[in-house]
Amino acid sequence: MIVGLGNVGRAFLRLLIAKETELRRRYDVRWRLTGVATRRAGWLADPDGLNPIAILNGHWPNPHAQPARNVREWLEKARADVLFEASSLDVQTGQPALEHLAAALELGAHAITANKGPVVHAFRELTALAGERKKKFLCEATVMDGVPIFSMFPLGLPATDLQGFSGVLNSTTNVVLTEIEKGRSLDEAVKRAQATGVAETDPAADLDGWDSAVKVAALAIVLMGVPLKLEQVQRTGIRELSEEKIRSARAAGLRYKLVCRAVRRGDTADCTVQPELLLASDPLANLEGTSSAIRFDLDVFSLSIVEHNPGIEATGYGLLADFVRAVHP
Amino acid sequence: MIVGLGNVGRAFLRLLIAKETELRRRYDVRWRLTGVATRRAGWLADPDGLNPIAILNGHWPNPHAQPARNVREWLEKARADVLFEASSLDVQTGQPALEHLAAALELGAHAITANKGPVVHAFRELTALAGERKKKFLCEATVMDGVPIFSMFPLGLPATDLQGFSGVLNSTTNVVLTEIEKGRSLDEAVKRAQATGVAETDPAADLDGWDSAVKVAALAIVLMGVPLKLEQVQRTGIRELSEEKIRSARAAGLRYKLVCRAVRRGDTADCTVQPELLLASDPLANLEGTSSAIRFDLDVFSLSIVEHNPGIEATGYGLLADFVRAVHP
């Protein structure tokens, strides 16, 4: 069951097909695609299984696919065990993804999301609901693709106190800043990021720091357990920086990056997203293209995780990894 | 039950005391130290519990402590649930640590090691034994302290193929190379590393690449599942490098680091440890002091993990984290 067949949903479906044998052999996991939903095609279900390759090639609706009127009817017709949410983000409400995930859990399916909205707006509620139904609500793909961030806590780092974290988590601003350093204008830089598939048609959410703000909020809520609201993240995008400023910093051995930070303050966390000047030798300053990095400051030590120039498969892999974690006996 | 009260064993014991409340509250884990063994004091057990603070202060043997003649008698007298192995490394055989861990598992205790020897020489056997007895054999502290490396696989990165990895995993050579770059001789550099507690009294295992070779072998054996022998790791230390060569590379914008690499080749892996010239902008080149880093190349993406200048508590934490993973319900 997949909601959303954009780049992420399609990448996930390709991986699911490519790893079919491995999933069966290593994890005894078998799967069947019983439903797909997109804005254009609506809610389509077939409990006997839709043909995933035909769907990737755009040959659908399948003649056996039954259209449903809404997410609940769709989940029921498809007899779903797992829902994968890969629809596009609504920063302010997390909807309708939030409703999809809640419906899945209520009807007894695991709920796995690549959409950050529901994590920021309803992590506690969805986790509690999952606990009641003895199902999983997982969200690894929402930050740094399939890199184990959420799944590293708590049992990768038990009995630690996460005091803060900092990172560069948005690819579009990374690419745009590098292109401006090379002499391009903001507009040209954005077009270049769009041409390589890094930036979306509307790059505002990236340039204005919304994507980063949602990520820092998601991390603080999940990993620090603080009841943070998105509005509490102090957010400054990169549009305020003049091209001249970016280039002269570069010439002086410094680089601007859109940096996310969170620091624990009692029962909450101070979270910021803003362009910061970093020394060229700073590991965060060396990130190029789609690479991203995060540093965690724990009471016992600090560690950083870097993802090196991933493609879209990496995000699809985040959904696949959560799938194994949800259903592996 | 702790074997070895050197720096690591003591750091672990301090953390165990400092985190006592947290372990009880967050994980419902309670502990009692029922045995300690060191070369000097022999095998001491007390099922009612030894006083850990007195032991850290050197006030022992405790009057109630019963001396045992060997590891089995000691484990039985102490009624051990978990054995922590923190004795010093024997590169060539992994003994006597290997025997301690096997005895613990056979007598129904979890076996947790900070000593790399048994991982390289008997990982399969100890893991199989643990499986039979439904106990855990864990070794997180052996590479990069408490940073979750071994515990990131398999469920942090399920259904992936680890094609290779590379890293800088030895602190002594890091510190020594930096000091030589600054103008010191090899001897002076080694003394400096010893003065700050980074290098051991006999630095040969570090300088000649043995410590790195054991780590690369441990990682390949555990994470790639290959039946590698330590002799198969191609090993070159840093003594061959002249001070002049190290300094002129630095002046040219390059740095020597003792780099570990493994690349999968069919059913085995090609493993090397050797000084390599890295660009100053390479993340591995920027590591200073006790910092270490590893890059994993997976079929779906590549990620790196960096540990920032840890102290000895970080290694102790590796044992503590494995403790929680072993006994947490």
Measured in whole angstroms, how far is the alpha carbon of residue B158 from the centre of its chain? Answer: 24
Whether residues A302 and B308 touch (CB distance < 8 A) is answered with yes
The 8 Å CB, 24+ separation contacts for A45-48 are A45/A74, A45/A77, A45/A78, A46/A78, A47/A77, A47/A78, A47/A79
Here the tokens at position A108 are: 């007894």
Write down the H helix ranges in chain A.
7-18, 20-27, 52-56, 71-78, 97-106, 117-133, 171-181, 186-195, 204-207, 210-224, 243-251, 312-327
Name the residue with tokens 């969200």. Answer: A139
| Cα angle value A12/A14/A16 (rounded, 5°) | 70
pLDDT in tens, A217-266: 999 999 999 999 999 999 999 999 999 999 999 999 999 999 999 999 99
Interface of A with B (CB under 8 A): 15, 19, 22-23, 26-27, 145-148, 151-152, 155-160, 280-281, 283, 286, 295, 300-311, 313-314, 317, 320-321, 324-325, 328
Per-residue pLDDT, B61: 66
Closest Cα in chain A, distance from residue B188 (Å) = 27
Report the C-alpha gap between A294 and B314 in whole angstroms.
Answer: 19
Here the tokens at position B91 are: 């590169």
Q: Identify residue B171 by its one-letter amino acid code.
A: S
Whether residues B159 and A26 touch (CB distance < 8 A) is answered with yes
Neighboring chain B residues of A303 at a CB cutoff of 8 Å:
147, 305-308
Partner residue facing A146 (CB), from B301, B304, B314: B301
Neighboring chain B residues of A156 at a CB cutoff of 8 Å:
148, 151-152, 156, 321
- Based on its alpha-carbon atoms, the radius of gyration of chain A, rounded to whole angstroms, reads 20
Pairing of the two strands B268-279 and B234-235 = parallel
Whether residues A155 and B325 touch (CB distance < 8 A) is answered with yes
Closest Cα in chain A, distance from residue B312 (Å) = 10
Closest Cα in chain A, distance from residue B218 (Å) = 19
Here the tokens at position A19 are: 């790893």
Report the C-alpha gap between B110 and B138 in whole angstroms.
Answer: 8
Minimal-distance CA residue of chain A relative to B29: A159
First to last CA, chain B: 20
CA atoms within 13 A on the CB side of B119: 28
Here the tokens at position B173 are: 């050579």
Closest Cα in chain B, distance from residue A79 (Å) = 25
Neighboring chain A residues of B321 at a CB cutoff of 8 Å:
156-159
Whether residues B157 and A145 touch (CB distance < 8 A) is answered with no
Count interface pairs A-B at CB distance under 8 A.
Answer: 128
Report the C-alpha gap between A27 and B252 in whole angstroms.
Answer: 50
Q: How confident is chain B (329 residues) per 10-residue block, as mean pLDDT?
A: 91 97 96 93 91 89 79 95 95 96 98 98 98 98 97 94 97 96 96 91 93 98 97 96 96 96 96 95 87 97 96 96 93
CA dihedral B114, B13, B205, B193 (to 10 degrees): 140
Neighboring chain B residues of A280 at a CB cutoff of 8 Å:
281
Here the tokens at position B68 are: 């045992």
- Name the nearest CA neighbour of B122 among B156, B97, B148: B97
Report the C-alpha gap between B39 and B46 in whole angstroms.
Answer: 18
- Name the nearest CA neighbour of B324 among B84, B46, B107: B84
Report the C-alpha gap between A185 and A179 in whole angstroms.
Answer: 8
Pairing of the two strands B35-38 and B2-3 = parallel
Neighboring chain B residues of A26 at a CB cutoff of 8 Å:
158-159
Here the tokens at position B180 are: 């030589």
For residues A84 and A114, the answer to whether their CB atoms sit within 8 Å is yes
For residues B198 and B175, the answer to whether their CB atoms sit within 8 Å is yes
- Name the nearest CA neighbour of A3 among A64, A58, A45: A45
Report the C-alpha gap between A162 and B158 in whole angstroms.
Answer: 25
Neighboring chain A residues of B281 at a CB cutoff of 8 Å:
280, 286
Whether residues A328 and B158 touch (CB distance < 8 A) is answered with yes
Report the C-alpha gap between B302 and A173 in whole angstroms.
Answer: 21
- Based on its alpha-carbon atoms, the radius of gyration of chain B, rounded to whole angstroms, reads 20
3-state SS assignment for residue A217 = helix
Report the C-alpha gap between A308 and A313 in whole angstroms.
Answer: 13
Report the C-alpha gap between A231 and B261 in whole angstroms.
Answer: 45
Q: Identify residue A153 by its one-letter amino acid code.
A: F
Interface of B with A (CB under 8 A): 15, 19, 22-23, 26-27, 145-148, 151-152, 155-160, 280-281, 283, 286, 295, 300-311, 313-314, 317, 320-321, 324-325, 328
ipTM of the complex: 0.95
CB contact set of A217 (below 8 Å; sequence gap of 6+)? A120, A228, A229, A230, A232, A233, A271
| pTM reported for the whole predicted model | 0.95
For residues B150 and B223, the answer to whether their CB atoms sit within 8 Å is yes
Here the tokens at position B268 are: 């085995």
β-partners of residue A164 are A263, A297
Sites in chain A below the pLDDT cut of 50: none
| Cα angle value A84/A89/A92 (rounded, 5°) | 130
